[in-house]
Structure 1
């Protein structure tokens, strides 16, 4: 005959979970698995990554603490005695003010998500309860608190508060209608002033947006000092993207494209952040018809080499989306803007016709990442480019000219070798076609690149 089973139960407060713990007892006493990551996460408990274990011993029955809404998750259980636990949702949103209570003994534990106010009243003398938390305690950390006797929460205290032992501080907490709800963690956009960064800021208007002057990803000390507890997702659009200059600016390229992402991956591991990072078709040598996400990298130049090194670092973060893309066009200086200017100026440039790939607009990259995050697609590497057939740069230029009222024939078609004559250019992959089958399998359909191009040129 089997013993009691481990169970996880939902409550009226979103994310607040009750865990029924099997307690094995005999003449010697009892034993329980107080925290068992594999079993509990399989039953729906978040893999919240505890980093600190706190123990609270209460001498007398009636000791009452709270209601405190800390900015971290916690897993509360009792070692000996009994506790009445009460929780009030103090997060922004429709569930603000929802309350729940339950008695906790050694067979019951409760997972409390960030921003849910929690309070405990001991029901026996010499009661000990403990809790795991996933942030180290920080001096001066401020968070909402609530009056234990708030009439809206209407917590049914077993021992009247007039008879309970309560700290002076907890006797003066505000009522619910005076509480400022705890805001959710928000995304952080790094490299917000670039073409991709601007598209990400538009797609994620609630994000905090910073550029290198505010947060330099190559500065380890600045990264350590950043308030990561305020964020849940890091969108890293910072990079050294000058392909030709990278051949001589090697230190700068490696710092921005490899060392910086490595530091961010370590931060993401430590703070359980989702790290979103962008890579390039330049990590490949361009000899294949197209590339899948698991193809081996083989970069030709310094830019591609530094991006490939950054890729290897980013995938060490447990929660990562590494987005490889090609031929990026956005709001700013780029190939399409140059061709449109030349068309208006009456020029007839020679454009490379033997490099093949797909245009990718920053709006599509931002939309794809929104999709990955919203659908909680499996973490990993995803190729994201515009849809439709592969084209050459000359094909793109001809389309821009036509949209600007010029003849497609006004574009001269040259080889890479002809174009490079007399110029100090970095090597480029002849084919940078990235397969998008993987992200399409998650339900995302890239818009045809030429359709996006026409809309972009039209303004």
Structure 2
């Protein structure tokens, strides 16, 4: 017979596979699920964890229509069935119908939120299905149902429902007009109270925000309380970022605990539940000797904070589905360098600011939008640099620009070296001299952040 092939259907993501049956006088053999071949044909790598079997003794046995909160792959071991699928996900496809007669030579991939119903057309029908979540009695509360006899979708069952064997529960399911579409999986934002976390939750109104003290990754009960099976993506916007405090005895312990130990628990959650993880990284993983840093540059952190972030990046990179988003000089809703300079300008202060550290500002509006873009477009996994665009500047350059936008003279900012600034401040963490990140990979993924000076003017009103 010809090789394995796939057919698209009117329902987005619902795929029909035609499977070769290799037979002789003794019977037949087939590769019922072959991950490598099917992925090459477009099957999502849905990660099945459970195999279920269903047996119908008599023709006419009918079940459905059930939209389940997981993906499934259905196929026949014996007999023939009539399959019907209805899209119950929100959007333009809601209510779209597809039907097909299946035998052992056919398998169908059913994405989460698409209702499926089956009618046995022959006695002793046996069908098998792979699912990518473990079933439990509580799972039924997450199903979405549609009546087999709904007049709107008008499924033409080969054996009339009046002559079919149907359970009382299936007969009582609602009509399409009364069906609430199955909500998509949620995005979890860890560190939702921080500058970036607030920007992310504003862009993702249906997201689940987690932060201390209610959600502590040191607490197994807190981790277990989250319905991870209904989570589509995890964004980790939490970190220990006090770079100077991290150089102290207690700060070092806290920095490693948050940025590595706690992160490792989040990585294991993502691995166990097969959830893509977005992790926010930093220019501090580099020593700053290169004037521009690409995504492929080797780690060379100078201080404890950078060391923990580099270790965290390495942990996240072990996941099969991840995005590491490396950024620098973040400005958002909270205490930050721009806000400090604006306050000093308003108070008439003439500050001294470091002029020999160079980089670009990153406003959380663009950082959050870039992260959402990578997720929503399913960009290739890996590491992406993400800052605002524009020329490389020093901290002193930015401070002078803030003063100008506040109606003060740029000359009121005195430019000093890093050594001069830290001369009377012992115990300060080393900083990378150059923090500019190359943005070409991000542009190839279809996202271009705004110019840093444009965002600065907006930020200062």
Do they fold alike, i.e. is TM over 0.5? yes
Structure 1 unaligned regions, length at least 5: none
- Displacement after TM superposition at 1:220 (Å): 4.0
Pairing 1:238–2:238 present: yes
Aligned partners of 2:224 and 2:439: how far apart in 1?
A: 36
Question: Is the contact made by 1:365 and 1:384 (CA closer than 8 Å) also made in structure 2?
Answer: yes
Aligned partners of 1:435 and 1:102: how far apart in 2?
A: 50
Aligned partners of 2:452 and 2:338: how far apart in 1?
A: 12
Aligned partners of 1:387 and 1:409: how far apart in 2?
A: 25
- Partner residue of 2:88 out of 83, 87, 90: 90
Pairing 1:11–2:9 present: yes
Q: Write the deviation string for residues 300-358 of structure 1: whole angstroms up to 9, x where unpaired.
A: 11111111111011111211110111111111100110110011111111111111111
Q: Write the deviation string for residues 215-268 of structure 1: whole angstroms up to 9, x where unpaired.
A: 223434422331112221211111111111122312221222112222222222
Pairing 1:147–2:147 present: yes
Q: Which runs of structure 2 are paired with 1:34-433 in the superposition (5 Å)?
A: 34-141=32-139, 142=141, 143-248=143-248, 249-423=251-425, 424-433=427-436
Partner of 2:239, secondary structure, is: coil
Question: Is the contact made by 1:330 and 1:362 (CA closer than 8 Å) also made in structure 2?
Answer: yes
- Displacement after TM superposition at 1:401 (Å): 0.7
- Displacement after TM superposition at 1:67 (Å): 1.1
In the superposition, relative to structure 1, how do residues 304 and 218 fare at CA in structure 2: closer, same or farther (>3 Å)?
A: farther
Residues paired across the two proteins, number:
456
Question: Is the contact made by 1:218 and 1:255 (CA closer than 8 Å) also made in structure 2?
Answer: no
Runs of 4+ in 1 over 4 A off after TM superposition: none
Aligned partners of 2:209 and 2:384: how far apart in 1?
A: 24
TM score, norm. by length of structure 2: 0.95
In the alignment, what sits opposite 2:442?
439
Pairing 1:456–2:459 present: yes
- Partner residue of 1:26 out of 24, 27, 31: 24
Aligned partners of 1:437 and 1:174: how far apart in 2?
A: 51
Question: Is the contact made by 1:220 and 1:263 (CA closer than 8 Å) also made in structure 2?
Answer: no
Aligned partners of 1:286 and 1:22: how far apart in 2?
A: 57
Aligned partners of 1:152 and 1:170: how far apart in 2?
A: 17
Query: Which has the larger displacement, 125-134 or 256-265?
Result: 256-265
Query: Which has the larger displacement, 106-115 or 6-15?
Result: 6-15
Aligned partners of 2:124 and 2:446: how far apart in 1?
A: 55
- Displacement after TM superposition at 1:374 (Å): 3.1
Question: Is the contact made by 1:289 and 1:433 (CA closer than 8 Å) also made in structure 2?
Answer: yes
Partner of 2:137, secondary structure, is: coil
- Displacement after TM superposition at 1:202 (Å): 2.0
TM score, norm. by length of structure 1: 0.96
Aligned partners of 1:441 and 1:121: how far apart in 2?
A: 48
Query: Which has the larger displacement, 100-109 or 148-157?
Result: 148-157
Partner of 2:209, secondary structure, is: strand
